[in-house]
Amino acid sequence: MASTAIVVGYLATPEGEAALEAAAVEAGRRGARVVVVASRRPSEDSASHDAAVERVRDRLDESGLGYEVRQLDQGRDVAEDLIETAEESQAELIVIGLRRRSPVGKLILGSNAQRVLLDAPVPVLAVKSV
């Protein structure tokens, strides 16, 4: 298993899929493993979340990359979990997905994304879905 890691924040959304894809590409380039921090949206039921996480595992199995999936309990602090995971896994990069926001939303960016960008101990790659 590679000693370096790319941590990716994953939700079963287009932005989460874009982040996972970017993390896999970066891991391949760097010879690193992928550490997926999978969060469940409040509107998502457990069965849907579990199925999405299984699809992530299948996708990473097919890629041939080393990986680990960490599932978060709903209600936990996503930004804190991403930062802690990056520290624990000695990550060299965190990848997050961003979504389009309203003009007012742009002022605050999104509290989780903003906290990760400002507090992460490593560089952060922010991607958007196409």
Q: For the domain that residue 104 is a member of, what is the CATH number? A: 3.40.50.620
Binned at pLDDT 50, 70 and 90, residue 65 comes out as very high
What is residue 83's predicted lDDT score, i.e. its pLDDT?
94
Per-residue pLDDT reduced to its tens digit, 11-42: 888 999 999 999 999 999 999 999 999 988 77
| Domains identified in the chain, total number | 1
Instruction: Please state, in angstroms and rounded to a whole number, the distance separating the CA atoms of residues 68 and 102.
Output: 34
Q: Which residues constitute the domain of residue 100? A: 5-128
Per-residue pLDDT reduced to its tens digit, 76-119: 678 899 999 999 999 999 999 987 655 544 444 457 888 898 99
Query: By the 8 A CB rule, do 75 and 41 touch?
Result: no
Burial of 121 (0-12, 13-18, 19+ CB in 10 A): exposed
Q: Indicate if the pLDDT at residue 75 is higher than 70.
A: no
Query: By the 8 A CB rule, do 37 and 7 touch?
Result: yes
pTM attached to this predicted model: 0.87
Beta carbons within 8 Å of 3's beta carbon, 6+ residues apart: 90
Q: Indicate if the pLDDT at residue 43 is higher than 60.
A: yes
- 3-state DSSP of 61-99: HHHCCCEEEEECCCCCCHHHHHHHHHHHCCEEEEEEEEC
Q: Which residue has the higher pLDDT, 4 or 42?
A: 4
For helices 78-88 and 111-119, the axis angle rounded to 10 degrees is 30
